[in-house]
Chain A
Amino acid sequence: MIHADYLLRRVATSLIVIAGVLTLTFFVTRILPSDPAQLIAGQRARPEQVAAIRSQLGLDRPLPEQFVRYLGDLARGDLGRSFATKRSVAEDLGIFLPATLELVLCGFALALVVGIPAGILAGANERGAFDRVTGVAAILGAAAPVFALALLAQQVFFNQLHWLPLNGRLSAEVSLAHPVTFVTGFLLVDTALTGNWAAWRDALGHLILPALVVAIYPLAIVLRMTRNSMVDVLHQPHITVARAKGLSERTIVLRHALRNAILPVLTIAGLMFAYAITGTLLVELLFRWPGVGKYVADAIVAKDFPPILAVTLVSTLIFVGVTFTMDVLRSALDPRVTGRLGD
């Protein structure tokens, strides 16, 4: 049902994007005025110490040579070692990436589960009370700055109601009394796998507020996109035809309109998801969430190249993966995408 030609073309363009991003980030980070050798040696080190480290790491070699070596390491799956923390970047990503994914996945699940049905309902009852209310709520949600939402959520649910913990991913007491065995890095999964229910409940409690804050913006966008695209589709001739045939409104909305309306929504949601992997920095900071956004922000401030390159690569892969999946999905749902219409 999907054309092989189309698939090949998409795979090729994806690879070109990845190669381009790799090259660009490598050279841009190297051109920046900074000295990784100094970073490794520490600020108090004497120039001789710094020079020794520079040659030891090959940082005094020509840039193209360093690039080739970087690609070689990458091909062997070696993402390098952070200059500042001296930890393996792959190991670090193994810790910080699941933390962010857990947060963002939960946030987006919430956004889609609430946003799409609410958008359908609003679109099907254009200018009704529900449409108006969700319209205003969506504008508020999309416009509210993340840090304000986070602080508001903490004020209400921690300071006033005492329902949820302030920040962090797991409380120290639970972590000491019920140590979590690291399997996937997703706390809810790891604790469930090992039957550590005390830690599972604690982790869930910690996840709710930040996930809610992460969910607000995509929820607002998804809701409005679904609603608008629903309204558009419902005004099209084939819907009028369906109505003329006497189909029930429910069938029209769910069978005929939704299929067309949902495509652009999924595309946008996919892009927002990929962006959120590194874009949840503020939430991670305010909720003390040890995620990849904070990790890469620290690396950027410290000009610590290996983590910057690795996170860029990973987020590019996620971006490309998401858009690729979305395109394939769209081509499955909509024959026009692959240019097959005239066949």
Chain B
Amino acid sequence: MHLARDCFLALCLVVAAAGCAAPPSSPASPSAPIAVRVTAAGANVAHAAVDAAAFADFDPSSACTSELWVLANVYETLTRYTALGSEEALEPGLATSWSVSDDGMTWTFKLREGVTFHDGADFDASAVKQAIERTKQIGQCAAYLLEPISEIETPDPHTVVFKLAYPAPLADILASPYGAWIMSPGATDKDAAWFAAGNEAGTGPYRFARYEPGQRLVVQRFDDYWRGWQPDQFDTVVFEMVGDQVAAEQMLRAGQLDFANQVVLTPDQMASLDGYSGLRLDAAPSVGNWVIFLNHRRPPTDDLRVRQALAYSFPYESVIAHTMLGKGTLAHGAVPTSLWGHDPEPSRYVEDLDKAASLLEQAGHTNGLELTFSYDPTEQTMAELWQANLAKIGITLKLEPADFPIRWDAAKSAPENAPQAFILVWSPDVVDPYSYLFNMFHSEEQPLWNLGFYSDPAFDTLVDQARRQSALDQTAASTLYVDAQGMLADDAAAIYALDLPEFNVIANDIQGFVTNPAYSHLVIWYDVRREK
């Protein structure tokens, strides 16, 4: 009885103390936590969440992760990928037109006139040359994409000619958000530290206005932007750094953010925010896919029949139903169906446990098998669904969830001990079938992304040939890419679990947002408006 009374007193005390500690009128008291968006007086402001942990390298030559969500609003590329479903794969950016020689070795770009960098420098051929050479020379992130370029010529201020060492689809490469940004000649001699301090020198619609490390980055409209401005476009975009999913969800529920993506929130959180507080969930196809590598260098997956059995054992339909909010789609092969060069036919591997069991028997595994599967903790549901299926045919799947950098490091450094199954989310650096087929299946002396350690010289030749072809004729290249995927299917090189959707949570009153899988998880704020 005493205790009960004491507890009650204690609670009263805590509440009273807390009440005293708070001032009666707080300076920053938010309005009611409903769909009222925070705006500065008179200005048109948007707020977006960004992932605090990865947010730091603002050097356009080396930025490789979430910084792109900001940089894509500050820098521009010569060409741009169009959104899915467009007629053309590319649209003009800083270049107005381009052409390629018959051998695919010389690319000529006509540059837009009247474009200025944020630092006042003129955009011209020499700026392009210096920017691309800087990125190539720094050699970080996806700079290897620029490898085909052997020489850059500037016949006149508005023409750039790229001489290649071997044929490559350069117009596609130069649209990549990884390493194809054009920065001012005034910044090409600056080091990463200069950029990391919150400096930039792009041509894009927004320029850095204020950088508070760990807290936020504010960008403001660049008045001299070459496409001009309408009064209802956003003047200011505030990128709030959020390091925690709970904090991100609270801010969204309180109406403090207009946009958050899948890196900041889990799909389940996003589903719970749909329709809440003036927000909606936007789900769209992406160019990412879940690829489960099967280890070709380690028994028993070095046996084709075992790999085929595994491919027939995968619960494709129920994985689609129970993961990614049910928005994933059936994969046809290594190239997702959202992209050209994908296999038009569905994969020959469907869930068929009888077939899987008989293949195992043929391979002589009648007494069961034990395999390990390496995946991210967020992919637990998928792993367990597969595990349950495998148990039915006598295979024990040992689950080894770990954070990606750790398991990636372990797998690529010791192929012979690497897990028999290893899942990877592939997001292409250049939105081209080559990015998938080369990175994940081309023979590698030192493993990097080919984590099934697949190696077939005939496949390598075919893929390289397809790439050369793509510099000149996409349709012909597409046929070759489909053939290459047929070879992978013959070898049961990997399991394609599903083609991934992209999720974003966005405020209902933001109009004009179109997901572009090539620039995923971000908003080009110049293109959207707030509905009045």
Interface of A toward B, CB cutoff 8 Å? 33-35, 38, 40-47, 49, 52-53, 81-82, 84-88, 91-92, 95-96, 99, 114, 129, 132-137, 140-141, 151, 153-154, 156-159, 161-177, 179, 198, 201-202, 204-206, 208, 212, 284-288, 290-291, 294-295, 298, 301-303
Contact = CB atoms under 8 A, between A and B. Distances in A.
Contact of B246 (A87, A173, A205, A286): A286
Interface string B464-495: 00000000000000000000000000000000
Interface of B: 2-3, 6-7, 9-10, 13-14, 17-18, 21-24, 26-33, 38, 40-41, 45, 47, 52-54, 56-57, 59, 62, 64-65, 139-144, 178, 192-193, 195-197, 209-210, 212-216, 218, 236, 238, 240-244, 246-247, 250-251, 254, 256, 403, 405-406, 408-410, 413, 429, 446, 448
Contacts of A81: 193
Contacts of B18: 153, 156-157, 212
A44 B144 CA distance: 9
Contacts of A163: 22-24, 26, 29
A166 B250 contact: yes
Contacts, number: 214
A153 B21 CA distance: 12
A201 B29 CA distance: 11
Contacts of B10: 133-134, 136-137, 140
A205 B26 contact: yes
B40 A177 contact: yes
User: Lowest 7 CB-CB distances: which A-B pairs, in order?
Assistant: A290-B214, A85-B56, A42-B64, A201-B27, A86-B192, A42-B141, A285-B244
A88 B141 contact: no
Contacts of A92: 213
Nearest to B242: A288
The secondary structure that dominates the A interface is helix
Nearest to B32: A162
Given A34-B409, A170-B215, A288-B241, 7 more contacts: A82-B56, A87-B56, A133-B10, A134-B13, A157-B18, A202-B27, A295-B214
A294 B214 contact: yes
Given A95-B214, A170-B215, A208-B21, A49 B144 contact: yes
B476 to A, nearest CB: 28
30 contacts: A41-B141, A42-B64, A43-B64, A44-B141, A45-B139, A49-B144, A84-B54, A86-B192, A87-B213, A132-B9, A136-B9, A154-B250, A158-B254, A159-B254, A162-B32, A163-B22, A168-B215, A171-B28, A172-B45, A172-B216, A174-B27, A175-B210, A176-B210, A205-B26, A208-B21, A208-B22, A208-B23, A285-B246, A290-B213, A298-B53
B52 A294 contact: yes
B409 A35 contact: yes
Contacts of A302: 53, 405
A154 to B, nearest CB: 7
Nearest to B250: A166
Contacts of A206: 28
A96 B212 contact: no
A165 B6 CA distance: 32
Nearest to B7: A136
Nearest to A155: B250
Contacts of A294: 52, 214, 243
Nearest to B195: A86
Nearest to A294: B243
Q: Which interface residue of A40, A46, A284 has the most chain B CB atoms within 10 A?
A: A46
A285 B243 contact: yes
B30 A166 contact: yes
